[in-house]
Amino acid sequence: MEKINTSKGITLIILVITIIIMIILAGATISMFIDKNGMYETAEDTMKDWDARGKREEEVLEAYLDSAIEATNKTNSN
């Protein structure tokens, strides 16, 4: 009896399935970045929030420093 070699056919089917899966994953990834609430938009919002919090922190620290300097000056002048 002769053995039938089917490995080439199976390899081609696996290749096609792999390509289809990669196309589906690429589409999902692209839609996550392009979507209105996607990663890109979320990253921009987070960066703006981070900047706003940094500015607020600087204002609070500056006010604290000013009050500390003022208290020190009052103590030294007495």
Task: Return the pLDDT at 5.
Answer: 61
Residues of the chain with pLDDT under 50: none
Task: Return the pLDDT at 32.
Answer: 76
Task: Return the pLDDT at 78.
Answer: 65
Alpha-carbon distances, residue 3 vs 7, 12, 17, 60, 68 (angstroms): 12, 19, 26, 81, 90
pTM comes to 0.45
Task: Return the pLDDT at 17.
Answer: 94
Task: Return the pLDDT at 63.
Answer: 92
Structural domain boundaries in the chain: 7-77
